[in-house]
Amino acid sequence: MSKDIATPARTKEILKKYGFSFKKSLGQNFLIDTNVLHRIVDHAEVGEDTGVIEIGPGIGALTEQLAKRAKKVVAFEIDQRLLPILSDTLSPYPNVKIIHEDILKADVKSVMEEEFSECKEVMVVANLPYYVTTPIIMKLLEDKLPLKGIVVMLQKEVADRIAANASTKEYGSLSIAIQYYTEAKTVMVVPKTVFVPQPNVDSAVIRLLKRDKPAAEMLDEAFFFELMKASFAQRRKTLMNNLLQFYPHGRAVKEEIEQKLLDSGIDPKRRGESLTVEEFAKVSDVLLPLLKK
């Protein structure tokens, strides 16, 4: 059996063999600690009936650990230079498929139908490039893919924002957008020392388990998201002030907005960061009719 990819010596050897140089623009930081990888796979609860989607496999360090436990792994890699390396490092694993495509442009639903018909469940497990973490997670959730969940490594600061509770300084539109679809929990913090090259910040692994149905019901989902984002437009302002900016004719309907908020049990002087997902759903329902005016 070949040595694990994720050791400093083996990683160095692979990079040297292929003359590979890191591209800063692609946010490439490779993991060189097998224990961390084992723990990520544990947190994702990958088993013999699990299909796994990986994003940005690099030289295959996490892919290898997933392949040892999963039924099938499909990894999306955007960097063409890594394809021959992956074909070499992952040659012992027939249950791995590499797709050379940008996950943000891919038709993931079709890939899932095609590749995972024999799997009981599908998880996304990845060490995400920092610069596109949020767009990738939001795409996976907004496309309403039949996933069990997502376990990803990302910048600790972003993980803190995703898992934040209402009335904390990290809580914002990102927390709500992701918690609307999933139950979010940071499961481990990862020091920068276990990567090459070392990033400037620590990382964290977050686990997002898909909810059977969204965290709240509302009349118009698109409006709920618009209104919620608008409520955080200027964090230091009250909910009322942000809403007046949001409505094109805000001043004209000021009293109505105020009254509708009070009727739904929400103090207009509260700040957006103090409202839960359910409260935002309530606010979006009572304010929706004002858009039509």
**Which residues, 6 or more positions from 56, have their beta carbon under 8 angstroms from its beta carbon?**
26, 28, 75, 76, 77, 78, 126, 127, 128, 129
Residues spanned by the domain of 252:
221-291
- 267 annotated binding-site participant: no
Same domain, 141 and 68: yes
Residues 6+ apart with CB under 8 A from 230: 242, 243, 245, 246
pLDDT value at position 129?
A: 84
Q: Minimal CA–CA distance to 42: which of 69, 21, 61?
A: 69
pLDDT tens digits, one per residue of 28-81: 788 999 999 999 999 999 999 999 999 999 999 999 999 999 999 999 999 999
Q: What is the pLDDT of residue 253?
A: 83
Number of Cβ within 10 Å of residue 110's Cβ equals 9
pLDDT of residue 56: 94
Query: What pLDDT, on the 0 to 100 scale, is given for residue 2?
Result: 62
Residue 190 Ramachandran class (φ > 0 left, ψ -120 to 50 alpha, else beta): beta
Mean pLDDT per 10-residue interval, the chain, length 293 residues: 83 92 76 95 98 96 97 96 96 97 97 97 94 94 96 96 95 96 97 89 96 96 95 92 84 87 94 95 93 60
Q: What confidence score (pLDDT) does residue 235 get?
A: 86
Taking each helix axis as running N to C, give the angle between helix 221-231 and helix 173-181, from 0 to 180 degrees, rounded to the nearest 10.
Answer: 150
Whether residues 71 and 146 share a domain: the answer is yes
What's the CATH number where 34 sits?
3.40.50.150
Assigned domain for 285 exists? yes
Strands 203-210 and 149-155 come out as antiparallel
Question: Does the annotation flag 31 for ligand binding?
Answer: yes
Is 149 marked within a binding site? no
Give yes or no for a contact between 151 and 124, defined as CB atoms under 8 angstroms apart. yes
Q: Are residues 136 and 274 both part of a single domain?
A: no
Euclidean distance between CA atoms 277 and 80, whole angstroms: 41
Distance CA 161, CA 152 (A): 14
Q: Output the pLDDT for position 250.
A: 64
Do 284 and 180 share a structural domain? no
Annotated binding residue 95: no
Residue 29 labelled as part of a binding site: yes
Domain endpoint, select from 153, 181, 210: 210
Among 253, 189, 157, 172, CA closest to 40: 189
In this structure, the answer to whether residues 189 and 86 fall within a common structural domain is: yes
> Do 129 and 194 sit in the same domain of this protein?
yes
Task: Return the amino acid letter for 194.
Answer: V
Phi, psi of 168 (to 5 degrees): -115, 160
pTM (predicted TM-score)? 0.93
User: Which residues are CB-contacts of 141 (< 8 A; sequence separation ≥ 6)?
Assistant: 177, 178, 181, 182, 208
First to last CA, the chain: 69
Whether 43 is in a domain gets the answer yes
The total number of structural domains that make up the chain: 2
Task: Tell me how far apart the alpha carbons of residues 67 and 71 are, in angstroms, rounded to a whole number.
Answer: 7
Interior/surface letters 163-182, b for 16+ CB within 10 angstroms, e for the rest: bbebeeebbbbbbbbbbbbb
Is 76 in the same domain as 189? yes
- Is 172 a known ligand-binding residue? no
Q: Are 206 and 163 in contact (CB under 8 A)?
A: yes
277-291 and 221-231 helices, crossing angle to 10°:
110
